[in-house]
Amino acid sequence: MSKTFFTSEFVSPGHPDKICDQISDAVLDTCLEDDENSRVACETFATTGLVIVGGEITTNTYVDVQQVARDIIKEIGYKPGLGFDYDCGVINTIHSQSPDISMGVDTGGAGDQGIMFGGAVNETDELMPLAITLAREIIRKLVELTQKKVLTWARPDAKTQVTLEYEDDKIVGIDTIVLSVQHDEDVTLEQIKKDVKNLVIKPVLEKYNQDISKVKHFYINPTGRFVIGGPHGDTGLTGRKIIVDTYGGYFRHGGGAFSGKDSSKVDRSAAYMARYIAKNLVASGLATKCEVQLSYAIGVVEPTSVKVDTFSTGKLDEEKLENIVRKVFKLSPREIEKQLSLRKPNFKYKDLAKFGHIGRTDIDLPWERLDKVEIIKEMTNEK
């Protein structure tokens, strides 16, 4: 019997890097509201008292970048007295997109070269790895209780880790939960531990049929103090939480960030498509675990490669699965944009930056739908 451990982390919307992700995606949202053909590559940097927004944008609308940034910071909960708040300085250094990139995108090709991965596994109803799911839900619960002022001592910055124990690739329990929460000066560590265990962690574990009494190790604010946080305690930058945004390290990652990029950037759109493909393959019963890789060349319409890996759980060999993928799913950048409604989304990209882009059940995301399952079953004679 083989015993292994696997860990995923998640961070709150008030984490310095996540603040930057949300600002970058809020700029994208604002562009798309009036001009769905906007080309956006927006990056944000945040430190004590200062936010710098830069990158390349080509759009027919006006974006008040300073106001967008301040609105996000206020929404997250940063107020005067925390070393960083919505009255901070905001510098806008955005310029237009390079014509060398535009000439490739205008013909329907990819906005850059790169590799993208998507995956699905039957560890949860949403076909996500359990570790990242638990970590995300712990942060969501923490933020909810903070915003409702149930946790009156909590400040916006927080991060968590969940370590699962496996035996022969099957989950047998939770080994460790780590949670660090920014807090007011006058709260005790004992109060933080009590509130976090009883009000945050316990209900999340119960939702996923896990018993808190069986968790072997807890590390709640393990240094004993976390008063200084956010960009005042640690500089933030767009795109530094790509593993948090996806599968918590359970599946591979091509390295490209999502936030601040319009859907001509395959870093974003093809990663969503890879999740869509993998989820529908697993839901079709063709595998219990599946990872899809797509690759693109700048200015080229079709992907340079499609690869399916079922980790020896597939009912068909992977070459046949790859052929099914190419027949069922249209994989050019423009077709991906159309299939997943990425130019006219029914959601805000900033909300994806807040709590993750993959496996969300609170938002109707096109790449989370299982509308290709019956077609896949028909192609494999498994009605």
For 333-378, the pLDDT digits (tens) are 999 999 999 999 999 999 999 999 999 999 999 999 999 999 999 9
**CATH topology identical between 3-11+130-229 and 16-105:** yes
Query: What number does CATH give the domain 114-121+263-379?
Result: 3.30.300.10
Annotated binding site for K(+), which residues?
A: 43
Helix, strand and coil content of the chain, in percent to the nearest 5, comes to 35, 25, 40
pLDDT digits 0-9 by tens, 263-311: 999 999 999 999 999 999 999 999 999 999 999 998 888 999 999 999 9
Contacts with 268 (C-beta within 8 Å, 6 or more apart), sequence order: 256, 258, 261, 262, 342
Annotated binding site for Mg(2+), which residues?
A: 17
Q: Which CATH class is domain 3-11+130-229?
A: alpha beta
What is the Cα 112 distance to its own chain's centre?
Answer: 21
pLDDT at 68 over 70: yes
pLDDT digits 0-9 by tens, 201-214: 999 999 999 999 99
Task: Judge: domain 16-105, CATH 3.30.300.10.
Answer: yes
Q: What is the mean pLDDT of residues 224-237?
A: 94
In the prediction, which pLDDT does 272 show? 98
In the prediction, which pLDDT does 171 show? 96
Annotated binding site for L-methionine, which residues?
A: 56, 97, 234, 265
Q: Which residue has the tokens 């905001």?
A: 90
Token pair listed for 175: 């080994």
Q: Where are the chain's structural domains? A: 3-11+130-229, 16-105, 114-121+263-379
Q: Which residue has the tokens 């759980």?
A: 313
The average confidence (pLDDT) of the chain is 94
Contacts with 361 (C-beta within 8 Å, 6 or more apart), sequence order: 126, 368
What burial letters (b/e) apply to 315-345, b meaning 16+ CB within 10 Å? ebeeeebbebbeeebebbbbbbbebbebbeb
Burial degree of 19 (CB within 10 A; 0-12, 13-18, 19+): buried
pLDDT digits 0-9 by tens, 96-113: 765 555 545 655 667 678
Q: What is the mean pLDDT of residues 254-266?
A: 95
In the prediction, which pLDDT does 2 show? 86
Least confident of 91-100, 221-230, 288-297, 307-316: 91-100
Annotated binding site, which residues?
A: 15, 17, 43, 56, 97, 157-159, 225-226, 234, 240-241, 257, 261, 265
What is the Cα 192 distance to its own chain's centre?
Answer: 27
pLDDT at 153 over 90: yes
Give the pTM: 0.95
pLDDT at 164 over 70: yes
In the prediction, which pLDDT does 96 show? 75
Q: What is the mean pLDDT of residues 41-48?
A: 97
Between 112 and 252, the more confident residue is: 252
Confidence band, pLDDT 50/70/90 cuts, at residue 383: very low
Annotated binding site for ATP, which residues?
A: 15, 157-159, 225-226, 234, 240-241, 257, 261
